[in-house]
A and B are shown apart, each in its own frame.
Chain A
Amino acid sequence: MLRYTIRRFVFAVPMLLMISLIIFTILAFAPGDPAGALPLTIPAEVREAYRESLGLNDGFWGRWIKWVRAMFWYEPQHAIESIGNFCIGDCIDPGERIISFSSRSPAVDTIYERLPQTVWVLGLGLLFGIMIAIPIGIYSAYKQYSAFDNVGSFVSVVGWSMPVYWTGLILIFIFSVNLKWFPSFYDTTHDVQFTSWSSIWIQIKQLIMPVTVLSLFNAAAFSRFTRASVLDNLNQDYVRTARSKGLREFLVINRHVVRNSMIPVVTLIALSSAGIFSGAILTETVFRINGTGSLLITALGQADTPMLQTLTFFIAVMTVFFNIIADILYGLLDPRIRYD
């Protein structure tokens, strides 16, 4: 298992390099020039100097190698230096880091600032969704074709078919516009004081709608999946054996069936955790949350190539990472699966 884990992480590196090259190619061949937005009165040589200062004249491979070096070497070095508060050799020159075209500050720092909001909202949405879905899925499967199961299955297909940007808007209309219960946007500047109830309450109020929308959507997907997984196990021989040896039904379900059924569900949770960052784009647009998703939309509007490159690469890293985690969990939880 350890060898498998190491192998997967080692193989992830060339894969990530390839992904970064694909992203880079798309961005490099895209028309659009950050110097093109400058006023026309600016003389040609200043324009040229500006392009030079952004590093646009280095050619395709030159720029990619510079980016890779910054991403895989300078940025980790800077992260270690700033955590440990010391310098490795000569301290890293801030100019060597990946600098956003528009804000002129390091792209990684901006992403780091935006991450908490995304993780709070999308993470809670995933967490609550799973907490709702798993009991429903298990009970639906246990009482297959009962009224509960039929209603539950129908609701979950409906929930799964409604895009979050529509349900979100409807919720905003009901609870923000008409009832004025919750704010329609997320206030990032609110500093949560865990000692003060009113401060916590403000945070809950601004989280409640996006988290509800996401939980319902996730619950729909997860309850379908859990139900299918439990159904697969309920018909297995070992369940009959457990029952025939006189085990109580509660134990049959919880000790035997549920434990086995959770294996694919856990891997789906790992895979969905990677989807958080792509899903953030829509949710954050609807609820005006100042996270990584809205950062991507802003960077797109500004044709901020370094930011786009770094942010999409970050999302790709998350996807690859959680894919590996899912496979490893699968192997750890299911002794029948041995990768070595």
Chain B
Amino acid sequence: MTDTASENLGDDSIDDLAEASAASAGAAALLDGSTPDELGVHRTLRSDVWRQFKKHKGAVIFSVILAIITLAVLIGPFLYPADPFELNVADANQGASWDYPAGTDNLGRDIVVRSMIGGRVSLSVGFAAMMTGLIVGVAVGVIAGFVKWLDAPLMRITDVFLSLPILPLLLVVLLFFREPMTERFGESLGIFLLVVGIIGLTSWMQTARIVRSEVLAIKEQEFVLAAESVGTRNRGIITRHVLPNVMSSIIVSAALGVASAILTESALSFLGLGFPADFPTWGRLLSDGKNYMQINIWRTILPGALISLTVLSVNFIGDGLRDALDPRLRGKA
């Protein structure tokens, strides 16, 4: 059985998953008339997934682009000569030039370096909000799938959340809870926690539904029965047998979650309800830049292009991961 093999080999969950899929790959190989050993190299899930992922050209190219954006955002401000926060009114509202590749804003700050700093916030909000949503979603999904009497109530709650008008409510919460949060945690941390929290707590529903349906299917399989019959506790069954098998859908929904969280954050900032003005994010820069469109269009183009490019990259990587993690597709073109 898949799980007994994984108990011997697997020292982390990815390897457990490896065995689950290696079993199907092996079965396919046997049908071909060859044994898994004849395939030569020692195959792990990681190498299999990587091999399949490499075939998705778009995913590979956009992984590189995302890596470049991330690096530029993380170390760019240290290398770049201009200061993102220093006011220089003499140079305000400049167009693109050698000194300022994307011009300056109305306070004379360089747009390129402000976009780099802004990317730090946008990317970390995207990542943190995705993690929050993912943890809630997986927890709800696993509990609903496993605990029978909680299934119906949890799924009704999920339905209610899916019917809530999310964006209007996000705006309401952001506006009204801004002050208490900044009083308690300080301006930047307070707003960060608020934005991450509300995006995370309103984006878990799809993950919960997917995880629940997969848990329900996996729960009925023989290896779970086998694990139960040797006395594995529920916690062990969930962490060692069920979660590794739903890992691929979790990873894919994580990738898509980052994209939608970045979009939501920039939408909130664009509406002027996200981060405060002295705290640049891509959405905020775009929102500030739109009023100076006729003076310096780069203030609008650059942050928007970075949002789009990041979301595009994450979507492509998500597509690539979906193909790579699906054992039915792996090994095909």
Residues of A within 8 A of B (CB): 15, 18-19, 22-23, 26-27, 30-32, 154, 157-158, 160-163, 165-166, 169-170, 172-173, 177, 277-278, 281-282, 285, 296-297, 300, 303, 308, 311-312, 315-316, 319-320, 323
Contacts and interface: CB of A to CB of B under 8 A. Distances in A.
B300 to A, nearest CB: 5
B229 interface: no
Interface string B298-330: 001100110111011001100100000000000
Contacts of B300: 166, 169-170, 173
Contact of A161 (B176, B294, B311): B311
Contact of B286 (A26, A166, A296): A166
A126 to B, nearest CB: 17
A173 B297 contact: yes
A281 B171 contact: yes
A15 B172 contact: no
Nearest to A301: B175
A31 B160 contact: no
A170 B298 CA distance: 10
Contacts of A166: 286, 300, 304-305, 307-308
30 contacts: A26-B173, A27-B172, A30-B175, A30-B177, A31-B179, A32-B176, A157-B316, A158-B308, A161-B315, A162-B308, A163-B263, A163-B307, A163-B311, A166-B308, A169-B286, A177-B294, A277-B165, A278-B166, A278-B167, A281-B171, A281-B271, A282-B270, A285-B270, A296-B171, A308-B168, A311-B168, A315-B168, A316-B163, A319-B164, A320-B163
Given A22-B164, A32-B176, 18 more contacts: A15-B160, A15-B163, A26-B169, A30-B175, A30-B177, A31-B177, A161-B308, A161-B311, A162-B311, A162-B312, A166-B286, A166-B308, A177-B293, A297-B271, A300-B273, A312-B172, A316-B165, A319-B163
Contacts of B267: 163, 165, 282
Interface in B149-198: 159-160, 162-169, 171-173, 175-177, 179-180
Instruction: Determine the main DSSP class of B at the interface with A.
Output: helix
How extensive is the interface on chain B, given as a class? Answer: 35 or more
A297 B175 CA distance: 11
Interface of B: 58, 159-160, 162-169, 171-173, 175-177, 179-180, 259, 263, 266-267, 270-271, 273, 286, 290, 293-294, 297, 300-301, 304-305, 307-309, 311-312, 315-316, 319
Contacts of A172: 293
B168 to A, nearest CB: 5
Nearest to B303: A166
8 residue pairs, one from A and one from B, having the closest CB atoms: A30-B176, A166-B304, A315-B165, A161-B312, A161-B311, A162-B308, A278-B167, A312-B168
A18 B290 CA distance: 39
A273 B90 CA distance: 50
Instruction: Determine the main DSSP class of A at the interface with B.
Output: helix
B172 A300 contact: yes
Given A31-B179, A163-B266, A165-B270, A170 B301 contact: yes
A282 B271 contact: yes
B240 to A, nearest CB: 33
A161 B273 CA distance: 22
A30 B172 contact: yes
B170 to A, nearest CB: 10
Contacts of A19: 160, 163-164
Contacts of B165: 277-278, 312, 315-316, 319
A198 B84 CA distance: 50
A110 B263 CA distance: 30
Given A158-B312, A163-B308, A166-B304, A312 B169 contact: yes
A213 B182 CA distance: 36
A15 to B, nearest CB: 6
Contacts of A169: 286, 290, 293, 300, 304
B55 to A, nearest CB: 13
Contacts of A277: 165
